[in-house]
């Protein structure tokens, strides 16, 4: 992806939040939904993320600005995909990126309404202990792996 407008928008969103004037209403495009998600039931819709999710990922979960700026590419080249155990019509992307030795996860909701249109939406970005993959695989949640 490497969309310079997306990268600049992430920088502005984080700067605004850091100065106490967050722009949580902003919704950014990450481009087309990757084929591996479409192959597992996601509609062929644009993939979106809202500013509140970007803020939370950075300021609460410690995900670096660099990873958030490259999020479209990070999601496009994952390590694995798991069915969500808790949210209907959702999946969790296990990325190749890590934070403190733990994989970064990206839950994605399929066909979610934003305004008057439906999109596939990144719900969060956070790291989780590496053992989560073995537990989810044992629970039968694995949909795809590289």
Residues 4-62 have pLDDT tens digits of: 789 999 999 999 999 999 989 999 999 999 999 999 999 999 999 999 999 999 999 99
Token pair of 126 as six digits:
């956070």
Task: State how far the Cα of 66 lies from the Cα of 107, in Å rounded to an integer.
Answer: 19
Give the pLDDT confidence score for residue 26 in this predicted structure: 93
As a whole number, mean pLDDT of residues 124-142 equals: 95
What is the signed CA dihedral for 100, 102, 104, 110, rounded to 10 degrees?
Answer: -150
Query: pLDDT grade, residue 146 (50/70/90)?
Result: confident
Q: Is the pTM of this model over 0.85?
A: yes
- Find the domain containing 20 and state its range: 4-145
Model pLDDT for residues 83-126, shown as the tens digit of each residue: 999 999 999 999 999 999 999 999 999 999 998 999 999 999 99
Task: State how far the Cα of 138 lies from the Cα of 125, in Å rounded to an integer.
Answer: 23
Give the pLDDT confidence score for residue 32 in this predicted structure: 95
Alpha-carbon distance values, 17 to 69, 70, 96, 130 (Å)? 16, 19, 27, 30
The total of structural domains in the chain comes to 1
Task: State how far the Cα of 41 lies from the Cα of 12, in Å rounded to an integer.
Answer: 33
């Amino acid at each position: 992806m490497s969309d310079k407008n997306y990268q600049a928008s992430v920088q502005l969103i984080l700067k605004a939040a850091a100065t106490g004037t967050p722009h949580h209403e902003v919704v950014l495009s990450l481009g087309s939904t990757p084929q591996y998600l479409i192959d597992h039931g996601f509609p062929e819709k644009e993939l979106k993320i809202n500013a509140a999710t970007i803020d939370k990922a950075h300021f609460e979960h410690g995900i670096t600005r660099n990873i958030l700026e490259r999020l479209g590419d990070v999601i496009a080249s994952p390590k694995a995909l798991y069915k969500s155990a808790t949210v209907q019509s959702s999946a969790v992307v296990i990325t190749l990126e890590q934070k403190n030795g733990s994989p970064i996860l990206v839950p994605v909701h399929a066909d979610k309404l934003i305004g008057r249109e439906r999109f596939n939406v990144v719900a969060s970005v956070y790291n989780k202990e590496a053992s989560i993959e073995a537990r989810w695989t044992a629970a039968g949640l694995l949909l795809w792996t590289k």
